[in-house]
Amino acid sequence: MGKAGIAKISACTGISIVVANMIGSGAFTSLGFQVGELHHTLSILSLWILGGVLALAGAFSYAEVGTAIKRSGGEYAFLSHIYHPLVGYLSGWISLTVGFAAPVALSTLAFMEYLPVKVAHPAPAGILLIAALTLVHSYSLRSSARFQNVSTLLKVLLIVALIAAGLVVPQAPDSALSFHASYLSEITSAAFAVSLIYVSYSYSGWNAAAYITEEFRNPVRALPVALIGGTLIVTLLYTLLQYVFLKHVSPAGLTGAINVGTPAVEHILGADPAKLMGAAISLLLISGISAMTWVGPRVTAGIAREHYLWRRFTVNDRGIPVKALWLQFAISALLLLTGTFEQIMVYCGILLTLSTLLVVAGVFILRRRQQREADYKSPLFPLFQIFFIGVSLWMIVFALIHNPYETLIGLSNLVVGVITYFTSRRMQPPTKVQNTHL
């Protein structure tokens, strides 16, 4: 479980990584698109609760798989053991090439957009921000943990303060709170189903702690606490935040709005504090960018341990994958300069959803094999797993039908991944060929 003397992180830091990865701009933007089709307040709140339950189902499953396999790398490590090294490698390949670099680029661009001061050249400025965060995480695990804990705490405190103020201040006279529409007809509508896809993307990042399993002091205890605790915290914050927005903004003010936080703060605190909302959201995004900068290179380092082609990207003697950190920085910078990451996010989302689905399905396989006893057992097995797999399959099919072009791009990237896998196998010295398949 790592070299003696290398610093380890606590479950608290694991929770902060999960929370930081999960909370992004989605909670402040997607409500405007939901209000146009859904009018019953409980329908909208049900969306966010259901999204949280889906993430929690995944967290339960990852906690069981992670405490059985006990390796960093997330889907790469899990799928390599449960299915075949090629399946795990392709999952890791997606994470290595775009799975973290594209969200980092997208969040960095959003950071620049939300700044109250207009940035003349957002791409170069964004690259400098990513470089600064990469430098922080290249120094030591202790500095990474300290920065992540502080930035995430500020993020959570800001959201809690906004929620508290929103609950105390009287409702706007023309608020979007409404209980007159038919709840049953709305939650069974196509609009509800489509909205759930975007809400589920807002919850992405619930599995972040699984990428750094070996960096916990006590992975058996800390991994389930980080995954489940972080997901529960975000579900509560997200649901209350949407209620506050509905309470203080009119339907006309919400419908189609990208930044729903600003009009809500205008009613709660006044016009002047609302001007700072953009800066506040920018600060929220820094914590998320930092968490993805920390977590992503751990996948690359996991690949580097077992695949000769990537051998230079392993961790150093301090347990930090410095070269992998700067590789991810380079990819993020390239995506920012070329502006190609938005389409990448679509096909990346499809493939990553498939990867998480396979991990959750792996709970059935591990229990049947009983080769590795998990130190944590998912509750109410197999209800959460069936729910997660069913919803994930539905989202994948929906995305394939509506985004065939991006799907083809994703498949072409997988073909390149297959080529690099067999290239690495041919390059690897015979004495070092490892078969991680159980």
Q: Tell me the pLDDT tens digit for each residue of 354-392.
A: 899 999 999 999 998 875 566 899 999 999 999 999 999
The domain limits of the chain are 11-429
Q: Rounded to an integer, what distance in angstroms lies between the CA atom of residue 385 and that of residue 364?
A: 9
Residue 340: per-residue pLDDT: 67
Helix axes 383-402, 341-369, angle to 10 degrees: 150
Q: Rounded to an integer, what distance in angstroms lies between the CA atom of residue 149 and that of residue 254?
A: 33
Q: Rounded to an integer, what distance in angstroms lies between the CA atom of residue 44 and that of residue 27?
A: 13
pLDDT at 267 over 60: yes
pLDDT at 345 over 70: no
Residue 102: per-residue pLDDT: 86
Among residues of the chain, what percentage have pLDDT more than 90? Answer: 50
Residue 3: per-residue pLDDT: 47
Torsion of CA 375, 381, 384, 390, to 10 degrees: 120
Residue 342: per-residue pLDDT: 62
Q: Which of 162, 157, 164, 198 is nearest to 25 (CA)?
A: 198
∠ at Cα 190 (186, 192), nearest 5°? 50
pLDDT at 60 over 70: yes
Place of tokens 């189902």: 57
Mean pLDDT of the chain: 87
Type of residue numbered 18: V
Helix axes 322-338, 277-306, angle to 10 degrees: 130
Mean pLDDT of 64-84: 93
* 385 or 255: which leads in pLDDT: 385
Q: How confident is the model at residue 260 (pLDDT cuts 50, 70, 90)?
A: confident
Residue 272 corresponds to which tokens in the numbers above? 């002047």
SS3 label, residue 72: coil
CATH number of 11-429: 1.20.1740.10
What's the pLDDT tens digit per position in 297-315? 999 999 999 999 999 999 9
Residue 134: per-residue pLDDT: 96
Q: Rounded to an integer, what distance in angstroms lies between the CA atom of residue 149 and that of residue 151?
A: 6
CA of 236: how far to CAs of 41, 50, 153, in Å? 16, 12, 16
Backbone angles phi, psi at 238, to 5 degrees: -60, -45
What's the pLDDT tens digit per position in 205-242? 999 999 999 889 899 999 999 999 999 999 999 999 99
Note whether 288 and 23 are within 8 A (CB). Answer: yes
Note whether 281 and 28 are within 8 A (CB). Answer: yes
Residue 50: per-residue pLDDT: 95
pLDDT at 133 over 60: yes
What's the pLDDT tens digit per position in 22-53? 987 778 878 888 888 898 999 999 999 999 99
pLDDT at 265 over 90: no
Residue 414, strand partner residues: none
